[in-house]
Amino acid sequence: MNMSDYKPKHFNWLAQNGVAVITLKGAERKNPITFESYAELGQTFRALSRARDIKVIIFGSNGGNFCSGGDVHDIIGPLLSRDMKGLLEFTRMTGELVKAMRACPQPIIAVIGHGRASELLYTGRVMTAEEGERWGFFNRIVGADKLEADSMAMAQQLANGPTFAHAMTKTMLHQEFAMPLDAAIEAEALAQAVCMQTRDFRRAYEAFVAKQKPQFAGN
């Protein structure tokens, strides 16, 4: 499946050279997240597991902001009139988005600030650094002025790299978190042996011996 030409209804999607940039709509209100964009983001990240042409995802900014959080009028207000069943539908939908982001093989670049990210994902609950690490997103802190250029450069570098191995790294980070250490060491041994049989491993070796830069193909 290819997703370079994907056209979501409730957020913006711009894909080029294996890098997809997601921005939210509504710059005049700092791009609040809505019930609809939550749900469609979840579906999109589920679909990304099967996308062959997308190697890296960026959460980008629209008008200087990524997201103002759950909109008070569009989300918080309506929640007040929901019963427990309705509330759980909402909070589980936000959990589904987190699970889908973890499950997709692509690294996700969100330099948009921890506070902002947490507002998107947890409706106001602050995400700690430990949690951030635990969820296994790839993070790097850069100044706001360099944000977009740095994000894109980092994304392109990842997209041009050994993406099979990147996906394996993301998978192992998540799986090993829940394992006893001896099991994690064995899982790592298997994962490394698998990566050593990719053609990218040979490409890296041959480029090194020839004193050239390797050209990876993600296989």
Sequence-separated (6 or more) residues with CB below 8 Å from residue 148: 60, 61
Min CB(212)–a copy of itself separation in Å: 13
Residues with Cβ within 8 Å of residue 32, at least 6 apart in sequence: 24, 26, 67, 68, 69, 70, 71, 74, 75
- Distance, CA of 140 to CA of 35 (rounded, Å): 28
Enter the tokens of residue 100.
């889908």
217 binds a copy of itself (CB under 8 A): no
Give the E-state strand segments of the chain in sequence order.
Answer: 11-16, 19-24, 56-59, 108-109
Helix (H/G/I), strand (E/B), else coil: 54: coil
Strands 11-16 and 19-24, bridge-based pairing: antiparallel
Q: Is 27 in the site for a copy of itself (CB under 8 A)?
A: no
Among 77, 144, 146, 149, binds a copy of itself (CB under 8 A): 77
Per CB under 8 A, 80 contacts a copy of itself: yes
Identify the bridge partners of residue 161 per DSSP, sorted by sequence position: none
Q: Which stretch binds a copy of itself (CB under 8 A): 34-42, 51-59, 106-114, 182-190?
A: 182-190
Among 102, 114, 139, 148, binds a copy of itself (CB under 8 A): 102
Nearest-approach distance from CB 128 to a copy of itself, in angstroms: 7
The piece of 21-29, 34-42, 110-118, 121-129 that touches a copy of itself (CB under 8 A) is 121-129
| 3-state SS class at 25 | coil
16 is a site residue for a copy of itself (CB under 8 A): no
Asked if 141 touches a copy of itself (CB under 8 A), the answer is no
Rule CB under 8 A: is residue 10 a binding residue for a copy of itself? no
The nearest distance, CB 192 to a copy of itself, in angstroms, is: 4
Among positions 148-177, residues that touch a copy of itself (CB under 8 A) are 169, 174, 177
Single residue of 5, 28, 130, 145 touching a copy of itself by CB under 8 A: 130
